[in-house]
Structure 1
């Protein structure tokens, strides 16, 4: 339905915005023409062939009178008009390259007299004989003379001796009434406005207005808005001056002829292009400009003149290929665009609409054999100002939109023109229905249709005006009758008769279909519906019983219906119900990998249980069949019935000591019987102790079966009434229900603690985890000793152990600080072993004990000695044997010739000092044979040599 109404509006708007038909015939371009009397018809009989400027005029019935390119004038018979002296009218001082070479203006109070205003240019075609810029001139034509009219006077110069400076721009608009017309042109920074009245053109007294903007070029169009309030000019520059041309907007006073503003620059050539054509929409609310971006781009922009910042409303309507071209409003309400060398015109179909709703057709009218050029014929802009039709009650303008009236209401339509001597003829859909200025319509009296008023002016102007409006009657919304809205008063003063109402709850009962509907509520005294009530939180203004008005409006048609609604206050007070106890939730409940419980501090409650409790305690007065039970968190929510707690109740979480309000009302009705309150008390989960870092169970090494050792796992919650369940690796341990469990094997122990609260049916449960791992003292498996290396520091001992512990090692110590953790757990190698007896200790880092090895003997046969008394290797001996590990030592020393020179048999001997029989032997190598027997009788033999060094 909305789309159909919009289509009708677009069609009717295009038919209803003109009041005169003087602009109904166009000739332009290269033998192109259009007849707008009815559906536009292509004309091919024109004699005009022009590059830019052209002008046409018809009589008030739309019959062609004559047309011109500013140089020649052709009659309605398409013959050249003549001067009164018989000379052909082919030398008017326009120019084929002047943007607005000619403009035809009728004399305000003489239907036979017309004026042609011409503007020339600097361009002089070869051998044309045109003078260089003849400036601004006008000619007088009497259409009652000759065969279609004669030029009876002219040219009359209006250039004020500034011919060569004059621009190519001219426009016209009606003055304060139909007896005056203003013709405007511009030169550099000066606007010239000439008044035309019953005395003709006042060429001696132009109204001159200075502009802060100075024209950069003479080309481009000048237009006045149809309502006579705005002037726009396009300053077209090309070539090296492209960056200078602008679109400029001014304010205009059609009473005084003055430009009343300094001018607002609307475009930037470097971004938008340079402007050429300009035009206003019929309602004078939008401005359009055509701009050219070299070498071949044609654009149309819209500006919203109703906006405070017009510049910011710039919107691109269309962009395509083409040269500079004109824009011109036609009597069908469309703005046509001319792109040179085309066989068609483009059109803005709905120019008064906002940019986002504009429809532009690049090919709107086929010109047949005719071809476009840059220009289109300008007219007095007032031709296109519509006669506005008004709503007599509100003074709202009806004729600029499709009007929707409401069935059941009556409307008075009046035209804005109100001259007592004028005659009015109203018709509907082409049938005459009334002859009064005011027309009263309703759905039964005339109804939907196209209404047109024809105004015959009997004043001095003797003109005919028309106005049209499409009216569609639409039904008002239907409102259902509802029962009174009864609210419980349970605040601190339940007997004062005042309560809060949520009026929005009534909406679904008031209308069956709320789509595209607005519902508002008002006090019954607010007959103008100026102060809508707060529908979500309304307090009755009159105690106990009160009435308000609901207004239901169709958002598309704006038709509305009203109804009175009764409000009542029930002084119920607040009932109190028993509190409810719940267990807090476990934050880790949904985490399958969790090892312990975390209380959330909140929980949920199944309110269906509370409903049943309330019903059971009502003695049969309540049931779920007859009543609704609604739960809320606050008293205000319960009163306004907002934020209701709804299933699934798991979604609503409550902290300890939370209030809950239950509203009880009759089933399916807005009638509150009572409101009750209770609290929700959240009980803590019993969280047992645990140890995720691990408990150590020390076992024997090797491990015995059965394993006799255990470790106590204490999960005590601190509550003596709690009970427990124990699990080992996921398997229940039977009959273990105490807080402490003695674990005798490694594994993951889960403990669950259960607590029974008096008012909670299901025990609360929390859990924790112990990780138990076994460890033991190390068992020494092997010790490997390497001694008597080339350097005593190279001696080493490697130990290997067995066990399930975490082991570290120490040499010749059991102090904790001396133990070292190696790269391997079950083996370690010590280096730099000192000669003598050594032992190794192994400590379990889990605390299961220290074990030490037997003594390990490490010996070293010296490779040299230096008997110089410095205390370092002053004698030669076997190091590491001066202990109880060896029982017998026998060492023989020989010189290089095999002669025995010394013998050592005492393991505590200080060593050979390099003297033989009192003689100090020289530096040399000496040999030895050694035999060692330990206390177990094991013999170790060694043969080698050493050096005696004298320093």
Structure 2
């Protein structure tokens, strides 16, 4: 059984004008909002970072096309268009520091073409350098900007005035690019014969509105005291403007500060409002002189003429201006007394200037330091930029009087949050007439819906009210349909696995001279998600053959025919179809569901997360009783703490003797086995976590179907009580006497085990050997077969055979002991003390002359080797008084060795030879020619063959 359920009209509210071009805004420090939701939601993908000027454009259905700061253009993928990269050297001629650096206008008849009108910032330091590149400062920096700013970061050094470029959306695979042949085309908005006007060329103001013929567009800018209106029709831009000279005059000497401020034409094309920041160049302190103003004019959308200037407020710094959608009210932001204010005027009043009202926020007007941009939105609300804040203020009901407008400056009250992106001075301007003449052809609500998502192959009805005398023109994908009535039935296309998008539009011509009403609908026909009936079989819980625990999500892939893994579907389970359709009583824990009956029917609700389309299918769950019996695996303990390593695949081998198709998956708990969660992965090397015995669970499957959940009892066999590994020293002097090696098994248990020694291959509990090597004994429990290996390493050692190298005739003698390579022990060394003061190093320093005994001891206990040495030295004095002590002067240590080869000569202080003898002689008795010499210092010369002679002195004492 299989069900599918249709949301006939799945509405996502897209509040838009009939054309949708103003649905996406990018502005400030990477800030953005989209009107493709209600209320508008934040956009965080923008690459634009601007203080003021910006512009963006979307298609008729509100899909972003591109946006710009007047210098660089980004496509809908937020990539820079290759022919509009300012820092790449081929940008446009606007300036992000211009109030309205850019304005995007669609071509009236060619849907691929768009005009980008750019307005530069007319900088006085560029004008001072004209016709050369500015700024006209000695350090190449702009004096009114932060130090380090200059060309090209902040300005290209020229006052470029008004220019336009053409974007062709058919280029770059539909992402668009600037046409090289129609780029930065200059439009004259000044007197080219005036030497001062040509230096500045234009103010920072630009606006656009549809012409009275409903197909052409007027683009307007302002300079000094003139309005310049350029007409765009099916032939493109008419470069000859309609010029209207209207006051007040903004002196060119006050530029650039006087060039600042917005200008807007009303959506109905009949009024024009303009803000002049100031009329004075020099600032008062850090602020502009408050002598600017806001002015209202008439506009003729047939001829392009501006007339009838009316001052609304003067002696202020004026910046942002806007009309309500129905042109009932006008608004402006100004700075007055160094406080920012928001003003409203009633355009239906007999005395419009006197209708001025200061608008305050419902939470108290946010006193800002600067006036900022106002911009009408597609939803009919007016949005107010808030410098340095991550939000946009909102005038919710701009057609109402005074503070009935519900002006909010707090996000809590309804201001639009920007997700930590900050607004600045500017907001993107649009063709003002796109905010009027909009109708809803999808439903009869006041809110304009232009996008519709439906599920399945159901027809969709589009309609508008039947107005007597009106003409109706329907288009599908820009192709005119034969239907001329006020309604249209859209037949659903044949759907595969992918959605199909169709666009429809209705033009209602009232035949009264007004522009047609336009309605748009972008319909997305979405396929239902795949929904297949499925069966989920689970093994029974041992204590209850008809109940078990199910992981229902294991059926997701089968129910969606494998589509679930791509993340676009959501599957929810319900007890019944009725509950699924009402979306009540869904199964809260589908991964751990206990069945109520056996079998049991459940309903799966499959929802496409992106489209909202829903299908239903039936899931049958059943419990199969198992005849499998528990298994027991044993393993020998790895040590004496009752833990062992188990190869769980032995259980699978046992069961496969019954059925070769059985496969086993192991889990710590029965519940995990039932829900197939947290399966064990180390199945061939599993160590029990409970001492001596532990039960785990095996899920047995037969060709993918669960056959049963069985306990697997893991029992640890006791460890063999063998002795620890050992190292034994064997003194080589004892060869060939044997030593005895033992397994370490207690005497009373020896008969319970078998033994195998290596390398001797003896099978007794202990052996005698003189084989110096590593011996192992494998001890096996006769009853359970558990074996343990004991290793006994015989380490050879011996007494040391060594030689000694020492100094002679030194004040501080060194003795070095050299052990022969044949000695196998580990030795320590001592001098003149057999029982203590041993050291590991074989070198002794600062040893006195004379006879010494060297002791070398084997640390392994194989004995001590001794050796006497003599260090020859010099006596420092002697006393020849025949008392038997020190009666002769000679070499110390001569008694222990033959040093007859040494010749010794004695001299007095004058160098006279007194005696000469060899090393073995008795020595000098302190006489010369039989006469005793007096107490004094005497000198010796010791001559050794092949060695350096030794000289020194000693003392004769009497």
TM range (shorter): 0.5 to 0.7
Q: Which of 765, 772, 781 is the equivalent residue of 1:746?
A: 772
- 3-state DSSP of counterpart to 2:353: coil
Q: 1:158 corresponds to which residue?
A: 312
CA contact (8 A) 2:830 2:856 kept: yes
Q: 1:488 corresponds to which residue?
A: 539
Q: 1:196 corresponds to which residue?
A: 347
CA contact (8 A) 1:80 1:90 kept: no
Q: 2:669 corresponds to which residue?
A: 634
- The offset of 1:603, in angstroms, is 1.4
Distance 1:396 1:224 in 2: 16
Cα-to-partner distance string for 1:256-291 (whole Å, 9 max, x where unaligned) = 4548668589xxxxxxxxxxxxxxxxxxxxxxxxxx
Q: 1:329 corresponds to which residue?
A: 430
- The offset of 1:614, in angstroms, is 3.5
- 3-state DSSP of counterpart to 1:467: strand
Distance 1:785 1:99 in 2: 101
Distance 1:134 1:780 in 2: 111
Q: 1:847 corresponds to which residue?
A: 861
Q: Report the aligned-residue RMSD.
A: 6.4
Matches within 5 A, 1:248-263: 249-253=392-396, 254=398, 255-258=400-403
- 3-state DSSP of counterpart to 1:755: strand
CA contact (8 A) 1:520 1:533 kept: no
CA contact (8 A) 1:173 1:226 kept: no
Cα-to-partner distance string for 1:422-470 (whole Å, 9 max, x where unaligned) = 9987654432658567967644799852222446789x99875323222
Distance 2:797 2:240 in 1: 124
Q: 1:676 corresponds to which residue?
A: 710
Matches within 5 A, 1:758-837: 764-776=787-799, 816-817=835-836, 820=838, 824=842
- 3-state DSSP of counterpart to 2:272: strand
Q: Summarize the Cα distance change of 1:187–1:764 in structure 2 as closer, same or farther, 3 Å threshold.
A: same
- The offset of 1:486, in angstroms, is 2.9
Distance 2:754 2:466 in 1: 99
Q: 1:92 corresponds to which residue?
A: 247
- The offset of 1:855, in angstroms, is 15
- 3-state DSSP of counterpart to 1:639: helix
Cα-to-partner distance string for 1:527-558 (whole Å, 9 max, x where unaligned) = 14466545652324633332222234455655
Cα-to-partner distance string for 1:181-208 (whole Å, 9 max, x where unaligned) = 43434243222211224x6673321221
Q: Summarize the Cα distance change of 1:685–1:138 in structure 2 as closer, same or farther, 3 Å threshold.
A: same
Distance 1:535 1:101 in 2: 59
Distance 2:416 2:426 in 1: 29
Q: 1:663 corresponds to which residue?
A: 699
- The offset of 1:328, in angstroms, is 2.9
Q: Which of 265, 271, 275 is the equivalent residue of 1:104?
A: 265
Q: RCO (CA 8 Å, sep 6+): is it higher in 1 or 2?
A: 2
Q: Summarize the Cα distance change of 1:204–1:424 in structure 2 as closer, same or farther, 3 Å threshold.
A: farther
**Structure index of larger Rg:** 1
CA contact (8 A) 1:414 1:437 kept: yes
- The offset of 1:630, in angstroms, is 3.9
CA contact (8 A) 1:23 1:57 kept: no
Q: Summarize the Cα distance change of 1:456–1:602 in structure 2 as closer, same or farther, 3 Å threshold.
A: farther
Q: 2:272 corresponds to which residue?
A: 116
Matches within 5 A, 1:607-646: 607=649, 609-614=650-655, 616=657, 623-625=659-661, 628-645=663-680
Q: 2:355 corresponds to which residue?
A: 205
Q: Summarize the Cα distance change of 1:637–1:206 in structure 2 as closer, same or farther, 3 Å threshold.
A: same
Q: Unmatched 5+ residue regions in structure 1? A: 1-8, 83-87, 108-112, 126-130, 236-244, 266-304, 317-323, 331-378, 586-596, 617-621, 728-732, 881-920, 926-945
Q: Which of 551, 570, 595 is the equivalent residue of 1:502?
A: 551
Q: 2:593 corresponds to which residue?
A: 539
Q: Does 1:431 align with 2:484?
A: no
Q: Does 1:551 align with 2:605?
A: yes
- The offset of 1:634, in angstroms, is 1.6
- The offset of 1:772, in angstroms, is 1.7
CA contact (8 A) 2:471 2:484 kept: no
Distance 1:782 1:155 in 2: 121
- The offset of 1:136, in angstroms, is 2.5
Q: Summarize the Cα distance change of 1:134–1:534 in structure 2 as closer, same or farther, 3 Å threshold.
A: closer
- 3-state DSSP of counterpart to 1:479: coil
Distance 1:654 1:767 in 2: 24
Q: Summarize the Cα distance change of 1:832–1:922 in structure 2 as closer, same or farther, 3 Å threshold.
A: closer
Q: 1:698 corresponds to which residue?
A: 731
- 3-state DSSP of counterpart to 2:347: strand
- The offset of 1:874, in angstroms, is 12
Q: Summarize the Cα distance change of 1:432–1:659 in structure 2 as closer, same or farther, 3 Å threshold.
A: farther
Q: Summarize the Cα distance change of 1:711–1:479 in structure 2 as closer, same or farther, 3 Å threshold.
A: same
Distance 1:541 1:852 in 2: 90
CA contact (8 A) 1:630 1:644 kept: yes
Q: TM-score, normalised by structure 2?
A: 0.57
Distance 2:869 2:275 in 1: 129
Q: Does 1:735 align with 2:761?
A: yes
Q: Does 1:313 align with 2:349?
A: no
